[in-house]
Amino acid sequence: MAWLRRGAWGPARRCGLAAGRSYSGGGAYPSVSLSCPLPGVPKAVFAAAEGREQFETRVTVLENGLRVASQKKFGQFCTVGLLINSGSRHEAKYLSGISHFLEKLAFSSTAQFGSKDEILLTLEKHGGICDCQASRDTIMYAVSADAKGLDTVVNLLADVALQPRFSDEEIEMTRMAIRFELEDLNMRPDPEPLLTEMIHAAAYRDNTVGLNRFCPVENTDKIDREVLHSYLRNYYTPDRMVLAGVGIEHEQLVECARKHLLGVEPVWGSGQSKDVDRSVAQYTGGIIKVEKDMSDVSLGPTPIPELTHIMIGLESCSFLEEDFIPFAVLNMMMGGGGSFSAGGPGKGMFTRLYLNVLNRHHWMYNATSYHHSYEDTGLLCIHASADPKQVREMVEIITREFILMAGAVGEVELERAKTQLKSMLMMNLESRPVIFEDVGRQVLATNTRKLPHELCALISQVKSADIKRVVTKMLHKKPAVAALGDLTDLPTYEHIQAALSSKDGRLPRKYRLFR
């Protein structure tokens, strides 16, 4: 450190470091605004992106119809997975619950791997983790691992999807896991997954996305290897699959796909799928009620009070339509959440369901807007919960909010909703697994991918007239209603429908001779 003590500051003083200190107070340029460049200072040169083509999603279709999609992303790790156009909406001709079984059986023993532990040990060598998620229209097998292990990962994914063993022991363990999950679903304090099932069943009665996503208890013993194979024979075909990867070179992914997914004979036998359900979702509207004692849902020193939960929904549009973006902005504008939210930046405390509902009615515990969208339909709904004695008032508050959606939209709230939506989109797409899912789902549905900057441009173009137009169209549909808890004071379905057809959203008055 002697050089520092002796004279290291000498050149710095000669170069004007001492004089430089006076700039920090702004004394040298008292009249120059902070937003203007300083006079006499060279113009800054910033690094520029190499061009948008570097970030575009590349898609290749193999000879067997399998699509391979990739997206570049800097980093040592990659996320690679298979997305298959298969889900609970395709189970109309089969036992309900097959997709639920397949989700639980994923990454178990295969032709090459003797057990789940063997698969996990193989992934561990590349720092990898695996996951499988089944939704109403898609099943997704995904692995995140070191990019150097790409060949191993694609080989594993191909084996898991096309060569599963489905041993008797694994199927029995899956039955136990599903029974436990169904019990837990009915006991947990948060009823949101249950209500989502109910609102879909009410909106699309006995068809496509209205079919149960969870396996009914009575079907757990009926689903076996033969049932699974008969389903997989129709839906696990290459033309219904996308191999998506983020953080790898496209040519490398295509090469691995050709090696492990081209000309592979599945364990259930090859051949053309004969019985694929191509039904288009039929929106029916309707009501599903489940009377349930919610008084002992959460016991303990600070128990959750007994609540009644209501979800009201109306048909919106599919994610392939132009109106999808205005509906996404509308959903963000409605926002909402729980009454015990701490608030803070980005929590949406200026959304309509906070300003008009939760902030004005202290007795409401929750008011949240949700938008579910599929390739042929969509559902915009509001979930609300309150004390059973105030159910009627709560329903009227929600129906009024639906009617107010078609009214005037302030420029400030619209811009705020658009900015929040863009912010949420860009923040989510910072995550590699989210980019992977976005790439896979878009390519599966449309064979291409809209990039974030394109979506942001579409969001920016949304006007208040677009919101009014899509809401007016939506309000002409029959409502879907899901109700859970003590439903003594729940208005009739006809009254809720009348409120959503009225000018002010009020329920028809009840006249009683004796109170």
Residue type, 496: I
What is the rounded CA–CA span in Å between residue 418 and residue 422? 6
Distance CA 473, CA 468 (A): 9
b/e sequence 102-138, b meaning 16+ C-beta within 10 Å: bbbbbbbbbeebeebeebeebbeebebebebebbbbb
Residue 459 CA: distances (Å) to CA of 321, 350, 352, 443: 14, 19, 19, 21
- Any idea where the domains of the chain sit in the sequence? 57-261, 286-501
- Cα dist from 384 to 198, 309, 364, 477, whole Å: 14, 6, 8, 21
pLDDT at 45: 81
Do the strands 67-71 and 241-246 form a parallel or antiparallel pair, or are they unpaired?
parallel
Identical topology for domains 57-261 and 286-501: yes
β-pair type (480-485, 286-291): parallel
Task: Classify domain 286-501 at the CATH topology level.
Answer: Cytochrome Bc1 Complex; Chain A, domain 1 (3.30.830)
Q: Which residues of the chain have pLDDT under 70?
A: 1-29, 47-54, 271-272, 299-300, 302, 341-347, 511-515
Q: Domain 57-261 is classified in which CATH homologous superfamily? A: Metalloenzyme, LuxS/M16 peptidase-like (3.30.830.10)
The Cα–Cα gap between 128 and 118 comes to: 13
Beta carbons of 106 and 160 less than 8 angstroms apart: yes
